[in-house]
Amino acid sequence: MAKKQFKTESKRILDLMINSIYTHKEIFLREIISNASDAIDKLCYRSLTDETVGMTREDFRIRIDVDKDARTLTVSDNGIGMTREELEANLGVIASSGTRAFRDTLSGGENADEVDVIGQFGVGFYSAFMVSDKVTVITRAFGAEEGYRWESSGADGYTVTPCEKDTVGTDVIMHLKPDTDGEDYSGYLESWQLKELIKKYSDYIRWPIHMTVERREWDEKGGEDGKGAYNTVEEDQVVNTMVPIWQRPKAEVSDDDCKAYYKEHFRDTADPVGVIRVNAEGLTSYKAMLFIPAKAPYDYYTREYQPGLQLYSAGVMIMDKCADLLPDCFRFVRGVVDSPDLSLNISRELLQHDRQLKVIAANLEKKIQAELTRLKDSDRDHYLTFYEAFAPQLKYGVVGDFGMHKDQLKDLLLFYSVKQEKLISLAEYVEAMPEGQEKLYYACAETTKRAAALPQAETVKAAGYDMLCLTDDVDNFVMQMLGSYNEKPFCNVTSDDLGLESEEEKKDTEQKEEEYRGLLDFVKESLPGLVESVRLSHKLKTQPVFLTTEGEVTLEMEKYFQNLPGVPEADNIKAKRVLELNAEHPAFAALKKAYEEDKPRAARLSMVLLAQAELIAGIPLDDPAAYTELVCGLF
């Protein structure tokens, strides 16, 4: 029979895997057992609403069998099974939803990244090939009349054929590789070693894992001389304790246990920065174990990412990703919620409106908030790790839903402080404010260095005040949404009044503006449609010009919208530009002279000054060639 080929991506992964990116080959057993457990979860859930399943909770089990002569290790379950189509879809391609990302990473090509990405998908079923040279899957789906046999010897492809199977469920038969110098595959045929592996990785699996275990028993009359000897007796044992980690008393479970569970269960390679354990009793009782990840999954900031917590009721998994348990701004949190109180016999749709679920969600939100605050206040290094991965999420949380969550989130934000040269919170900024400082100053730019080098930053610094540098696209919206902190208004140094000019300075500027009215109007006319107004400024210390804006739209917003792909209207979102000139600068003197003696030259100088201002503000020139010509024309 013709072999079917694996999808290309799967083939690459299989190769990678067989060539052992995993140093711990033994994890294959955990993967196969966890698939069996998931399959049972599905059928058990089904049995709650579908009588034709004909099974109760007590009937479900996983079995491990070995055949030393045939060198096979078999993991069987009486779960939901797979139809022919499911066999093809699930085992013919690795993690199909992730294949595109896979392709991207593989073609991007650093080896280290590949391993990382694989870790996130979970190689699952394919890990069987790390220890087997052939894998046979015999399965019958719930509701199907016949079974199917899938078989593959690795990267060269697989076959699927109909076969006999009396009961619903799946047997995964692994034909172990021959032993080599470095690897003792035969060990996976020893019941004591298998038992150890199950204890180590799969103890919390909620379904009993049965295995025939050999035990030595003293027989008083045994032996050839009848004086007694050890007999080997075989007995069927359940080798796992079946108590899920979140159900065990806090004192019994160490932080390391929780972290290990997180990494295995949620397929992360990094320890979480925070673990939250909740044991709530009362009107709605539940247990929860939540994790705050250290890094964002590869697809976190895409539509593909599905947030949510795993929801169990009395040991039965009802939902893998219950999004209603998490507020959107904390959608990075992973974890498990188990409540015996949830009414089980209702459909998933109805469950989403369950009042109890709302109560749990509201409590968890408070716990997450508290844990993040604790990390920020007393474990800043871990918080910084978290913040690097999820700051955009918190910021989108501030601006989303019309700012509904801004008060809740504002104290979790950190921004780069020019004075302290590190990320600080708004509270820390305010705390360090000298007497008399009325505003919280910030500047937006591509990098903190650029922000700190803005001419207005000099003015703020000269006043002895700190300035926050904002480098994320969303930051500017965050500040507009917050408006103020502790009743002190935010001040964007490039668009708002710094409030640092004395009355005298203001008067002086006004006077000068009157004096140079003709020149300023001329500059504006020389830049038709390009600037809203032309002014003199006190803010500028060493620079000749600067661009600021009037009105709601700032330069950062304009840039942000223009970078949005596929939004043609975005071109109409323009900041109203104000060209500010430094009357003390030699450039101004040259402009004034030209205005008096050579108007065309003054017009050219105006254009050069605008281009200079745009460059300082980080706006690329529309036409660099024309600009060069313009400058050269002045010589």
Tokens of 317: 């998994």
Q: Report which of 325, 316, 296 is spatially closest to residue 247, judged by C-alpha positions.
A: 316
The site string for ligand ADP over 30-69 (x = CB under 6 A, - otherwise) reads -x---xx--x------------------------------
**Residue 35 vs 459, nearer CB to ligand ADP:** 35
Task: Give the residue closest to ligand ADP by C-beta.
Answer: 124
From CA 457, how far away is CA 94, in angstroms rounded?
Answer: 53
Measured from the CB of residue 79, what is the shortest distance to ligand ADP in angstroms?
Answer: 5
Measured from the CB of residue 297, what is the shortest distance to ligand ADP in angstroms?
Answer: 13
Among 82, 333, 418, 479, interactor with ligand ADP by CB under 6 A:
82
The site string for ligand ADP over 280-319 (x = CB under 6 A, - otherwise) reads ----------------------------------------
**Residue 170 vs 284, nearer CB to ligand ADP:** 170
Residue 554 one-letter amino acid: T
* The one segment of 76-84, 177-185, 374-382, 582-590 that binds ligand ADP by CB under 6 A: 76-84
* The one segment of 74-82, 218-226, 258-266, 440-448 that binds ligand ADP by CB under 6 A: 74-82
Measured from the CB of residue 36, what is the shortest distance to ligand ADP in angstroms?
Answer: 5
Longest dimension (CA), the chain: 128
**Residue 35 vs 543, nearer CB to ligand ADP:** 35
| Cβ atoms of residues 426 and 440 within 8 Å | yes
From CA 443, how far away is CA 458, in angstroms rounded?
Answer: 12
Asked if 170 is part of the footprint of ligand ADP (rule: CB under 6 A), the reply reads yes
**Residue 81 vs 274, nearer CB to ligand ADP:** 81
Burial status of residue 568 (CB atoms within 10 A of its CB: 0-12, 13-18, 19 or more): exposed
Asked if 77 is part of the footprint of ligand ADP (rule: CB under 6 A), the reply reads yes
Measured from the CB of residue 137, what is the shortest distance to ligand ADP in angstroms?
Answer: 8
Measured from the CB of residue 197, what is the shortest distance to ligand ADP in angstroms?
Answer: 17
Measured from the CB of residue 32, what is the shortest distance to ligand ADP in angstroms?
Answer: 7
From CA 482, how far away is CA 489, in angstroms rounded?
Answer: 9
Measured from the CB of residue 126, what is the shortest distance to ligand ADP in angstroms?
Answer: 6
From CA 428, how far away is CA 35, in angstroms rounded?
Answer: 48
Rounded (5°) CA angle 128-134-140: 75
Q: At what angle do helices 503-515 and 517-526 cross, to 10 degrees?
A: 70
* The one segment of 87-95, 317-325, 327-335, 581-589 that binds ligand ADP by CB under 6 A: 87-95
Specify the residue for token string 């002569």.
Answer: 69
The site string for ligand ADP over 233-262 (x = CB under 6 A, - otherwise) reads ------------------------------
**Residue 124 vs 154, nearer CB to ligand ADP:** 124
Measured from the CB of residue 362, what is the shortest distance to ligand ADP in angstroms?
Answer: 31
**Residue 86 vs 354, nearer CB to ligand ADP:** 86
**Residue 40 vs 498, nearer CB to ligand ADP:** 40
What would the 3-class secondary structure string for 71-100 be? Answer: CEEEEEECCCCCCHHHHHHHHCCCCHHHHH
Instruction: Show Cβ contacts of residue 635 under 8 Å, excluding neighbours closer than 6 positions.
Output: none
Report residue 132: phi and psi, to 5°.
-120, 150
**Residue 298 vs 429, nearer CB to ligand ADP:** 298
Q: How would you list the strands of the sheet with 414-417, edge to edge?
A: 422-425, 414-417, 467-470, 440-444, 488-492, 484-485
Report residue 5: phi and psi, to 5°.
-90, 145
Among 92, 98, 124, 272, interactor with ligand ADP by CB under 6 A:
124
**Residue 77 vs 556, nearer CB to ligand ADP:** 77
The site string for ligand ADP over 88-107 (x = CB under 6 A, - otherwise) reads --xx---x------------
**Residue 90 vs 509, nearer CB to ligand ADP:** 90
Q: Report which of 290, 334, 295, 337 is spatially closest to residue 316, judged by C-alpha positions.
A: 337
Instruction: Show Cβ contacts of residue 185 under 8 Å, excluding neighbours closer than 6 positions.
Output: 131, 176, 177, 178, 179
Using DSSP, state whether 137 is helix, strand or coil: strand
Measured from the CB of residue 113, what is the shortest distance to ligand ADP in angstroms?
Answer: 19
**Residue 202 vs 612, nearer CB to ligand ADP:** 202
Q: How many CB atoms lie within 10 A of CB 442?
A: 26
Instruction: Show Cβ contacts of residue 584 under 8 Å, excluding neighbours closer than 6 positions.
Output: none
**Residue 66 vs 469, nearer CB to ligand ADP:** 66
**Residue 126 vs 595, nearer CB to ligand ADP:** 126
Tokens of 404: 């509904």
Asked if 9 is part of the footprint of ligand ADP (rule: CB under 6 A), the reply reads no
* The one segment of 78-86, 485-493, 496-504, 613-621 that binds ligand ADP by CB under 6 A: 78-86
Site residue total, ligand ADP (CB under 6 A): 17
Q: How far is CA 604 from CA 7, 145, 218, 545, 623, in A?
A: 63, 85, 106, 15, 15
Q: Report which of 328, 318, 329, 307 is spatially closest to residue 352, judged by C-alpha positions.
A: 318
Residues in touch with ligand ADP (CB under 6 A): 31, 35-36, 39, 77, 79-82, 90-91, 95, 122, 124-126, 170
